[in-house]
Every structure is written in C-alpha cells, then in structure tokens.
Amino acid sequence: MFIVYAKLVGPIFVKNRENKIESFSTIDPFISLVITSMATPRGLILTPLYFLIYLWCFGVFVTSAWGSKARHFKWEVDYMYHAPDCLENVVMAINGQFPGPTIKARAGDTVVVHLTNKLHTEGVVIHWHGIRQLGTPWADGTASISQCAINPGETFVYRFKVDKAGTYFYHGHYGMQRSAGLYGLLIVDVEEGKKENFLYDGEFNLLLSDWWHKSVREQEVDLSANPMRWIGEPQSLLINGRGQYNCTLAAAHDSNGSSLSACKFRGNEQCAPNILHVQPNKTYRLRVASTTALASLNLAIGNHKMVMVEADGNYLQPFSVNDFDIYSGETYSVLFRTDQNPSNNYWISVGVRGREPKTPQGLAILHYKSTTASKLPTLPPPRTPQWNDYARSKSFSNKILALSGSPRPPTNYNRRIFLLNTQNRIDGYTKWAINNVSLTLPTTPYLGSIKHGLTSAFDQKSPPNTFVNTYDITRPPSNPNTTYGNGVYKLEFGKTIDVILQNANALNANVSEIHPWHLHGHDFWVLGYGEGKFSKNDEKKLNLKNPPLRNTVVIFPYGWTALRFVTDNPGVWAFHCHIEPHLHMGMGVVFASGVHLVGKIPDEALSCGLTGKMLKNENHN
C-alpha cells in the first residue's frame, strides 16, 4: 500500500512499502490535489432467508468470516431490439440490458454467475477480461480453449475469485459476439478496510465500443468469403452503449459542413448521450474500458486535464495528459479536477486513432451541477489527434510506467518466443497468421484434452518459436500462402517467458496496422517498444527497472513490442489480437503451462468433443 503526500504546488512524494519517502515528480497544482486515500462503505450482509430470495433474483453477496464475499448473479443472454445509435437494430443483451449489468466487487471476493443461454441457434461463453482466474482456468470463458460453448437452453456457472483491485470488463468470446454487444463492466474495489492510493470525491465508468449496422452473422460471412469482403469502419462509436448515427450533438460547432441535423432528445431515448453530473472543485475518478471490435480510440474532456493512475488493474506513476489513447482490450483510471467555469458544461469526446477515421466522434457531456444539464457545451468538442500521428501515440505509451514499489520483472528469461504478425492467404481466402500459422480452434477444449491426455484432439507439434531472420517486414510477403494450425506453445511451469511481438507489412504495399494483443490468465511486463525488426542491439533498450504490468498491449506499424511474464498460473491461455475480425481470421496463439496442476474441472466445461465422449463413457461405466 502506498500513501501519497503533497503540497498544493510542487513535488509529490510517495511513502513506499519500506516506509521511505520518495519524490517522483514536480507537477502542476491539479496533480498535487489528486492524492492520498479515501474509505469506502461496507456492503450489506444478508440473512439466510434473504439470501435464498435474492440469490436467484438479483446480484447478491454473502460475507465470509474473513471479510470477502461471494457475489451471486443470475444472467440470461438473449437477442433483443435496441437503438444504440438511434437506429433500431438487434443487440445481444443480458437480462434485457445493453450493455450488460456492471459487476461491482472487492478484491478477494468470489463472483458466481449463473449464465443461461437463451439464444435459439448458437452457443455462448463470457470471458472475464483481466481476471487472472487463479485456480479456476476453466472459468476463463474462452470457447474451445477453457470450456465448451454453452448450448442454447443450458446454464453454466462461472465461479472465480477477483484477486486484485482495478478496472476490468467482460465480453463474449465465441465467434464475434463481442461485436454483437455482449459486454459489460467489472469493477473491483480495494479490500474491505483498505484504502486507495489516491483521493477522489466521486467515480464514473465509461465503457467504449464501436457499432455496425450490419449483423455479426453477415460480418462473419463477409470475412470468410473468397474474396474477403471487409466489414468496413463502424457506423458509430458508443459510450456506455449510447451513440448518435443520424444526428449530431455538436451541430453548432460543425466546421466540416456535415449534413447531419442537430440531435433533439427528451432524455429517455436509448441513444441519448451520457451525462456525467459533477460538483465544481471536486476530484473524480474516471474508469475507462475499451471493448471495441476494431477501433483504437482517443479520449479527451474539454478544458480538463487528466492524470493517469491505473492501467489494466495496475497502478502507474501518475502523469498529466490532455487526452489519451486507448486500444481495444485496455482499461485505465484517470483523475480529473472540476476546476473550470461552473456555469458551463463540457464535452467528453472519443475519436478514432490508428485507422483513417470514417466514423464520427462519440460524445458525452460533463455537467456541472451549478448549471442546467440541458445546456450544451459552448466550446467545440476536443479535436481527436491525427489518426496516423504514431509519434504521439508512442510518446504516450512510453510514459506509462509502474508506480514505485510495484513488482519488477525477473532479470533474465528462460525462453524467448518471437511472434511475427502477417496477413496471408489460404486457397485464396484472406487470413491473419502468426509465424505463418493461422489459428483454428479444435472441437475439444484444450484444457480438457491436455488434462486428460487426449493427444488426438489437436496437433501435438508445437508452432514455430520464431520466424526466418531474412523476412522483410517492410514489404508484402513474397510468398503470401500460409497454413491452418491448432498447435499449442507448451511452456514449462514456473519459468520466465519473453515474447517479442513483431509487426510487418500486410498483403497490400505500404500497409501495416495497429494490433492490440491480450494475454489471458496473466499480467505481463511491457519491456519496451521499437521500430523495425527486433535485434540484439534492442536488448539495451528494454526497461527492467519500472516497466508497467498490463494484460493488453499495442504493437505499432512496422515495429516490435517486448513482453515478459512468469508461467505461474496453471492452465491453457489464449494470447491474441483483440481486434475481433483479426482473431476471427486467425491472429492468435495458445499457451499451456502446468495443466497437470489444475484441479477438478467441472464436467459442464468439457461436455463437447472428445472430453464429452470420455465423460459419457465414464457415466455409462
């Protein structure tokens, strides 16, 4: 636990675990105000009678002797009609809500979700993004990797511990169901009786997503067609499931000659903008998560500076920004001070980065309670930085460092894996590949087949550990052909693994895309980023002093990103690009480590494929 001290203006000091005072920056008056800690209220303790009543009706919790709680939820996943961007469409919802319900828990709590599939023709799973699933790898929610898809009409019980405070979210991990709207927030507060590292007077959550009018089923067919039909850019950006497609909130500030008319809302429309109600001269925590299927984003609050304090559930060295980039799969917490003119309201803007933007900004409103909520901001929305200003993006990424006292990476690695991202073809079909292998998933979950020694369930040959060093990453592949594969990288348990993500040119000349990569089951240290092809000379650039711990990281065009993690969590874990169509087209790998140490796996997780047949035979015997 860190306790932070500061004067009104000047340096900030941190008291570390050794009780020593450390100065880490001299900053502006705003940052020096957003420090120290606050207490949080206790939760309700239910009697056995009310437990039985509420367990199946609402999200509830039960207090244990040690203060942690079991929080129970009963969810049903189904399609429904909704108008996220003012145009009615079909969305995937939980208990009739889009986005899904926000889970709130404390570090050390156990979350129990009874998930019933009410979809008529397709399976479903839910991945708890950023939750490491220590001891419960079968609850990771990855179809064909940690479990079988939940069939229509079936119920699966996810039970897992949230071991670390932070900002997380959940989403579908079967087909492209995340694109269909199957997602929601998962907020984990510090343990009962503990305090946060910083002071704030209130808290808001923003879940960012992108939205297409074409159905997910059509998108999947397009991506699998020969020739491929690219899904295009999203029609809208959504903030907490709300956006505007056929009108604009900022018509008075439109300098681009847009033909869109001004939005006219009563306030109860499904696409009415989010309004964050604040008091003047207060400090607020803004938790932001990006579950976009494609878009990299940039967020700004008009006239308000922000301080980055948390990323993917890990504390950061605080630093001030006017705006920040957020890639699919990432989460942040920022602090901001409501120190502007209290007679005005202000825009919160979200715009596209990393791709040529063909999607309007997403907008929400910061409402000062000293004025009326219906009053639109007088200033124009903050302008999103140029989409291809990668120098700006890299500068921001390089400022993200771990807070003093955070765990440091091991000095040396036991194994290093190089993963080359390329776009390729198989029999004319466009695919993404890693080390020239395009991932396909087996019908039997890896976790079960490895645990029970079912060697025929998938290719036992390990995928390539690297790529040929003569590969030219600046040009389209000289031989664009690749192969399908479902092999697994088997990693020795308890070892330190380095992964070098290497980006390259796509099939078309002068095209290299941003790819945010997400690792299940672990956090990793981001040791550094670089240009071109990684070489021995880049070793000296790696940060072993204070690299941030993350679960998602970006790889920039024609560049590399270096990661380090320890295989300390038994299971089988996906590692993949978090852009939904890229994963659908094969951009991912699978790591397995210590599976023999995994305890009893619920039969319901293994009821398909070869494990399903095995269980059926055991029951007959």
Q: How confident is the model at residue 34 (pLDDT cuts 50, 70, 90)?
A: very low
- Give the residue with greater pLDDT, 610 vs 36: 610
Query: Does the pLDDT value for residue 54 go beyond 50?
Result: no
- Give the residue with greater pLDDT, 267 vs 456: 456
112-126, 258-272, 349-363, 403-417 — which is least confidently predicted?
A: 258-272
Question: What would the two tokens of residue 196 be?
Answer: 């946060």
Q: Looking at residue 550, what is its pLDDT?
A: 98
Query: Does the pLDDT value for residue 52 go beyond 60?
Result: no
Q: Looking at residue 311, what is its pLDDT?
A: 98
Query: Dihedral, CA atoms, 503, 579, 583, 102, nearest 10 degrees?
Result: 140
> Mean pLDDT over residues 486-492, rounded?
98
Query: Does the pLDDT value for residue 419 go beyond 90?
Result: yes
Asked if residue 31 lies in contact with residue 69, where contact means CB atoms within 8 angstroms, the answer is no
Give φ, ψ of 150 to 5 degrees. Answer: -80, 120
Q: Please give the Cα distance from 352 to 298 (Å, whole number).
A: 6
Q: Please give the Cα distance from 91 to 80 (Å, whole number).
A: 6
SS3 543: coil
Q: Please give the Cα distance from 372 to 240 (Å, whole number).
A: 22
Question: Residue 331 contacts by C-beta under 8 Å, 6 or more apart in sequence?
Answer: 130, 166, 167, 168, 169, 287, 288, 289, 290, 310, 311, 312, 313
- Give the residue with greater pLDDT, 595 vs 34: 595
Q: Looking at residue 35, what is its pLDDT?
A: 34
Q: Looking at residue 444, what is its pLDDT?
A: 98
Asked if residue 30 lies in contact with residue 9, where contact means CB atoms within 8 angstroms, the answer is no
225-279 per-position pLDDT tens digit: 999 999 999 999 999 999 999 899 998 887 555 678 899 898 789 999 999 999 9
Count of C-beta atoms within a 10 Å radius of residue 57: 9
DSSP 3-state percent helix, strand, coil across the chain (nearest 5): 10, 40, 50
pTM, two decimals, is 0.90
Q: How confident is the model at residue 94 (pLDDT cuts 50, 70, 90)?
A: very high
Query: Does the pLDDT value for residue 14 go beyond 50?
Result: no
Q: Looking at residue 257, what is its pLDDT?
A: 54
The percentage of residues in the chain with a pLDDT greater than 70, rounded to a whole number, is: 88
536-578 per-position pLDDT tens digit: 999 999 999 999 999 999 999 999 999 999 999 999 999 999 9
147-173 per-position pLDDT tens digit: 999 999 999 999 999 999 999 999 999
Query: Does the pLDDT value for residue 33 go beyond 60?
Result: no
The residues that bridge with 582 in the sheet, in sequence order, are none
Count of C-beta atoms within a 10 Å radius of residue 46: 17
